[in-house]
A and B are shown apart, each in its own frame.
Chain A
Amino acid sequence: MQIGICPTRSARPTGTAPGGTAYCPDSVNSCRNGPTTIATRTLPENMNP
């Protein structure tokens, strides 16, 4: 996941809020995270009686 993509070129994140939100110093005071990739796989069967 990328953090801190701000909507203006000069903006740099000034901090990170819970959940990964990056706060930016311009008028849009927070900006979107980039895409998250979540990989999923199936587990082998559990050893139950």
Chain B
Amino acid sequence: MTRQALFAPFLAVLLMLAALAAQAQDGPLRLTITDPNVEPLPFAVPTFEAETPGAEQLAADITEVIAADLTGTGVFRRIPAEAFVSSIESFAQPVAYTDWRTINAQALITGAVAVNGNQVTVKFRLYDVFSGQELGSGQQLSGTTDGWRRMAHKVADQVYSRITGEGGYFDSRVVFVAETGPKADRRKRLAIMDYDGANVQYLTDSSSIVLAPRFSPNGDRVIYTSWDSGFPRIYALDVGTVTRQALPVIDGEMAFSPRFSRDGRSVIYSISNGGNTDIYRTDVPTGQHQRLTSAPSIETAPSLSPDGSQIVFESDRSGSQQIYVMPASGGEPRRISFGEGRYGSPVWSPRGDLIAFTKQNAGRFHIGVMRTDGSEERLLTSSFLDESPTWSPNGRVLMFTRETQGETGAPSIYSVDVSGRNLQRVQTPAGASDPSWGPLQP
């Protein structure tokens, strides 16, 4: 056997290992956010270039919002500017990848901002530093200056989406109940804010109690329960014009817990009548009603599956509050919650894979998720009072209400990702409860 023939197998193995190493080094940048042990991905975002005089502050503000969006996910880590060994003098200049590799930046975001009158243009590019190439194409966003935060959120959504492979959720809004005053005299108003708590605006005054606001699928309307007429009625409010109309739901003592269908055409809700509560559907344009449950127990909190074929809801028909699933047209419900304690406020994930819920057990409240057949229950939070979960548009994050104990206890909105990591309080001007997360904005 020749010397070359003797070493040939070893050479082949070495070449294969080298090829694998090269693949690992040069493979596309990718982050799996569902991994509970994910290591935050280090990224660099030098302050965006101001391309016009006077755009410096706006460029800096936009850069900070993008960085806050990404770090706020818990799966990205911003490298401080003090660590940079290279600077971006111009948006058009070639990237010195070696300098960014030196500080272990896996991703680099560069951008530029130009302001002309009340028009702003934001440009950005995303680079995969270790493979030495651009990740996706550069983009330019144009709009009016007062929409600058939305443009920053859109850039962050693009970065998040290109690296994780998931849809983003930053350019979205949340409708909620703003609460002020002591517990004995709590004032409640309907309010709307950006997902990060910015731009809070009030949609109703505090002259009557409002409850359980829910966004329509395209975010143009909010449906909610109000005591405006002296008893609970369901209203739909146009968030663009702040005009509202009472929905033509079936007559009853109380109408509450409404949600839009996925096409926004019909509403599912509960009616309490004569001490009994059941679930109904009303087709809004025609005003036609359909009764979906008929039981002597309390059936409420309906939520449709993304394909519209099933409804998850809570019921105490077994003697304790549990979660059930039934066909969207009504029919025999199937219980899916079997753990210890009481389950309520189920919400179907927009991805269709999970159902979020509130659980009360042993004096504690939890936000949890389970598969749609009730399996693989996981509790994500635990406190004196956690309730009312709502899903982010990409089905990866939940917001919910957390209320603190005691006379001075107040509600706040928190978020947590679906793996149970990254619990954060959403900053609001006053007390806040019952969030409903809207879709990504166009």
Q: Across the interface, do B139 and A42 meet the contact criterion of CB distance under 8 Å?
A: yes
Which of chain A's residues have a CB closer than 8 A to the CB of B125?
43, 46
Chain B contact residues, majority secondary structure: mixed
**Do A36 and B150 touch (CB < 8 A)?**
yes
How near does chain A come to B81, taking the closest CB pair, in angstroms? Answer: 22
Residues of chain B at interface, number, CB under 8 A: 38
A: number of interface residues (CB 8 Å) = 32
**B202 close to A (CB within 8 Å):** yes
Q: Is the CB of B144 within 8 A of A27?
A: no
The smallest C-beta distance from A46 to any residue of chain B, in angstroms, reads 6
Shortest CB-to-CB span from B167 to chain A, Å, is 16
On whether the beta carbons of B94 and A47 are closer than 8 Å, the reply is yes
Contact assessment for B146 and A43 in the assembled complex, using a CB-CB cutoff below 8 Å: no
Task: Say whether, besides A21-B199, A46-B138, A39 and B242 are in contact (CB < 8 Å).
Answer: no
Min CB gap A5→B, angstroms: 7
Determine the chain A residues whose CB is within 8 A of the CB of B150 once the complex forms. Answer: 36, 38
Per DSSP, chain A at the interface is loop
When the two chains form their complex, are residues A30 and B143 in contact, meaning their CB atoms are under 8 A apart? no
Pick from B138, B144, B200, B202: contact of A28, CB below 8 A. B202
Question: B138 — which chain A residues lie within 8 A by C-beta?
Answer: 42-46
Contact B241 A48 (CB under 8 A): no
B residues touching A (Cβ–Cβ < 8 Å)? Answer: 92, 94-95, 123, 125, 133-134, 137-144, 146-147, 149-151, 154, 192, 194, 198-205, 207, 239-243, 441
Interface, chain A (partner B; CB < 8 A): 1, 3, 5-7, 18-21, 27-49
**Can you report 29 residue pairs joining A to B where beta carbons are below 8 Å apart?**
A1-B144, A1-B146, A6-B242, A18-B198, A19-B149, A20-B147, A21-B200, A21-B201, A28-B204, A31-B242, A32-B192, A32-B203, A32-B241, A36-B144, A36-B146, A36-B150, A38-B147, A38-B154, A40-B139, A41-B140, A41-B142, A42-B137, A42-B138, A42-B139, A46-B125, A46-B134, A46-B138, A47-B92, A48-B133
